[in-house]
Amino acid sequence: MKIPRSPYDVLVNVVGICSLGGTTLWLLTVWNRISDHIPVHYDLRGHVDRMAGKDSLWVLLAVSWVMFLALSVVERFPQIWNTGVQVTEKNQEKVYRTLKNMLGTLKMIIAVLFSYLAFQSAFSGNLPPQFLPVFLLVTFGSLAFFLVRLIRLK
């Protein structure tokens, strides 16, 4: 079954691609101004607890592009999704639309998160103390939102 594109699909993809593409262009333009050693790991309070070479920013960016593109491929094949609910003729379109929206939202969150981490690592020290709770709330909150919608479609 092919799921038609919705305005929401376009929005999350544009935000994700702009985030990752902008980060890629930004890294290329500011590369010489980035310190040779940057923060690459933070403790629960957002304090730096490990440093590495600035080349690790390219690894972070590559991982985020791979995750974004892999989720984009998975998004195109709803027949391989584990829906968690019984898919019937009656609910098929709504179940697949809900799951596609969930995947798109996760793609966007991953892209924005990794872009933010690249910016923070390049020119800043510690993460804000509210970073971890906000990140967890946004990620798991969106998952909970879509899973509740999915369960209601039974």
C-alpha distances in Å from residue 23, one per residue of 42, 88, 97, 137? 20, 42, 29, 24
pLDDT of residue 41 exceeding 90: no
The predicted pLDDT at position 18 comes to 97
Structural domain contains residue 1: no
pLDDT of residue 112 exceeding 80: yes
Which range of residues forms the domain containing residue 28?
Answer: 7-152
**17: pLDDT confidence band, cut at 50, 70 and 90?**
very high
Structural domain contains residue 111: yes
Domain count for the chain: 1
Single pTM value for the model: 0.86
- How far apart, in whole angstroms, are the C-alpha atoms of residue 77 and residue 83? 12
Q: 23-27, 85-89, 139-143: which has the minimum mean pLDDT?
A: 85-89
Sign of the dihedral through C-alpha 31, 34, 37, 42: negative
The predicted pLDDT at position 87 comes to 79
- How far apart, in whole angstroms, are the C-alpha atoms of residue 17 and residue 110? 11
88 vs 150, more confident: 150
